[in-house]
Chains A and B, each alone.
Chain A
Amino acid sequence: MFVNRARPFPNVLERAFSASDLDESRSTIVVLDHSGEILWVNAAWRRFAEENGGPSNAYDYGSYFDGISPPFRELYRDLFAYVLASGTVYTQQYECSSRDTHRLYQMRALPIDNRALILEHSHVIAVSQRVDGEGNDDPLEGYRDANGLILQCSNCRRVRHAVTQSWDWIAELVQQPDPATSHGICPLCLGFYWVHLARRK
């Protein structure tokens, strides 16, 4: 059981986000201040650090940019500054494979009131690979609820796993939605939505 005790949940997120929701996410989440200092990381972040040979408190302190190799450090510093200043959500996919496994991730950078940035890294799941690997008749079986519906976030388009409740990014369902797709909103997008609604007043 991984519990995030190292840092208090940032004040800037308190009204719109729940620490327990973010801790339950299978996506790794890190919250940065406007200069790139790490304010908070979720349980999945700590778990990922431990599973990859680091201590669970890796990256608890210091600048996020210290973990980025020098040729790209300034690029990301400029990019995140732009995201904060413009209020624009930024998304990119990148490969992070091990020797044996090809893995694709999606990063989302969500600006919060020009004061903080939420970075979420989600595993991109390829349904076609799941079919080959698991031999399921319905590769989306794990994503269907008791009524056969798939819940997709109407904002980020990730889908919720019916058992683990994780929100996964499945490219096939963005390009070609399943007919039995019900649209809701994931906790991260809901929090982001709240912040913007509060600003609307």
Chain B
Amino acid sequence: MSQRILIVDDDKNTCIALASILREEGFTVDMCHDAQRALALLGAASYDVLLTDFVMPGMNGLELVRAAKELQGSLRCVVMSGRRTRDNAPELVAWIDKPVDVDQLISQIKA
């Protein structure tokens, strides 16, 4: 059974591009554009990986990861960011640079 991934990014172009790439790689993908919607989806279904943007309206990516972990403790989380500075966050599998290197992303998801 394929891994189920939730992509969260306020930029629709990024969401659509990443969802298309990951579906072609055989993953099951859902997407949404803000943290509140993401938490609603995480409350309703089980996911293997949360792939989220860092800067979004309302809650940022790390805040979303912490709230998501309360709902699904085994969720593996990757935060994407175009910033150079990153917080140390042990609850993350990885930080990934934007624009996303697809091979790096897939290896992080499969790790």
Contacts and interface: CB of A to CB of B under 8 A. Distances in A.
Contact of B10 (A182, A190, A193, A200): A182
Contacts of A187: 13
B21 interface: yes
B98 A194 contact: no
Q: Give the interface SS of chain B, mostly helix, strand, loop or mixed.
A: loop
Q: Give the interface SS of chain A, mostly helix, strand, loop or mixed.
A: mixed
Nearest to B56: A182
A140 B13 CA distance: 23
A185 B14 contact: yes
A197 B82 CA distance: 20
Interface stretch (A90-98, A113-121, A125-133, A145-153): A145-153
Interface in B25-42: none
A97 B11 CA distance: 35
Interface in A143-181: 147, 149, 151-152, 154-155, 177, 180-181
Interface string A8-24: 00000000000000000
B90 interface: no
B71 interface: no
Nearest to A183: B82
Contacts of A186: 13
Interface centre among A152, A183, A185 (most CB of B within 10 A): A183
Contacts of A197: 21, 102
B57 A184 contact: no
Contacts of A193: 17, 99
A183 B57 contact: no
Contact of A200 (B11, B98, B102): B102
Interface string B2-30: 00000001110110010001000000000
Given A154-B99, A185-B99, A180 B55 contact: yes
Interface of B: 9-11, 13-14, 17, 21, 53-58, 80-83, 97-99, 102
21 contacts: A149-B10, A149-B56, A155-B99, A177-B83, A181-B55, A181-B82, A183-B11, A183-B53, A183-B54, A183-B55, A184-B10, A184-B13, A185-B11, A185-B14, A185-B17, A185-B98, A185-B99, A187-B13, A193-B17, A193-B99, A197-B102
Interface of A: 147, 149, 151-152, 154-155, 177, 180-187, 189-190, 193-194, 197, 200
